[in-house]
Homo-oligomer: A and B are copies of this chain.
Amino acid sequence: MKDKFYTYIQNLQDTITARLEEVDGKAKFQEDLWKRPEGGGGRTRVIENGNVFEKGGVNISGVHGELPKSMQTYFGVEDADFFACGLSLVLHPKSPMVPTVHANWRYFEMYDKKGNIVDQWFGGGQDLTPYYLFEEDAIHFHSVCKKACDSHHSEFHSNYKKRCDEYFWNTHRNEARGLGGLFFDYCKATNEMKMQDWYDFVTEVGDSFLEAYIPIVTKRKNIDFTPLQRDWQEIRRGRYVEFNLVHDKGTLFGLKTNGRIESILMSLPPHVQWRYDHQPEVGSEEAKLLAVLQHPKDWV
């Protein structure tokens, strides 16, 4: 399973970066290969200063070895070995009319000291963070997410949409990071879902990413915007930073376990603003977005 899934994310990284370059029309992904001293490594691909994408990364990694102390505590296990691999992507478009998107699909195995698999699971998801609300875009993104779920289990979409809204919640702001999408974790074998079933589900979600995001980019990338709209985007990007650095388990985990910093923090936006007590005007497009972030809704 681990080799099969790693091959899958390698190919998916190629497919996604090729399509994003095509859509951007100017910038190319720069690749950094890196090794983890304790075992494994990754292939980081970053795009900067494009026509469409101001900054973004589509990274894969596969790491293994002894389970670090902090992860032992986290998982409540003692001496163990592990393998973990995944694809993580974040794209920050230049235009405030094009939403930021994040996705991650990952697989984890844990072994006893004899090398037997004692636990294994999938996790992941994808979510959309617009700066201006185009309802049809929200409906499109969530519809594609739902379609990827529905042939696997009738409750996956509603469960994982809900968990996404819960996970990407900026508690200190009392608002969502974005419009959500899907979030699932610890997807383990059951009577109903074998590991192969989970593989089929997770890869269908992975395969749906471009269909979920690209039509939105294509539709919005040439809309004119004002400097004030750009300011709003940069202020909202500040909330994105706050979520990733204060609340996001993956980011904090990476930072505190000597992960590859530049690959982890590629998620941070290129230009960001913080203003004191910034409030959008009542009735404005900016206020309309905030209202939806404060009260997540079902789009499909």
Decide if A238 touches B276 in the complex (CB within 8 Å).
no
Which of the four size classes fits the interface of chain A?
20 to 34
A230 to B268 alpha-carbon distance, docked (Å): 19
A30 to B277 alpha-carbon distance, docked (Å): 11
A158 CB to nearest chain B CB (Å): 30
A277 to B270 alpha-carbon distance, docked (Å): 12
Does A241 touch B at the CB level, under 8 Å?
Answer: yes
Does A172 touch B at the CB level, under 8 Å?
Answer: yes
The stretch of A120-128, A148-156, A215-223, A254-262 that contacts the partner chain = A254-262
A-B contacts, 14 of them at CB < 8 A, read A30-B276, A48-B275, A57-B276, A172-B256, A173-B261, A241-B241, A245-B245, A246-B246, A265-B274, A266-B276, A269-B274, A271-B271, A271-B273, A272-B274
Q: Lowest 5 CB-CB distances: which A-B pairs, in order?
A: A245-B245, A268-B274, A172-B255, A46-B276, A262-B277
Query: Could you list which residues of chain A lie within 8 angstroms of chain B, going by C-beta atoms?
Result: 30, 32, 46, 48, 55, 57, 171-173, 234, 238, 241-242, 245-246, 252, 255-256, 261-262, 265-266, 268-277
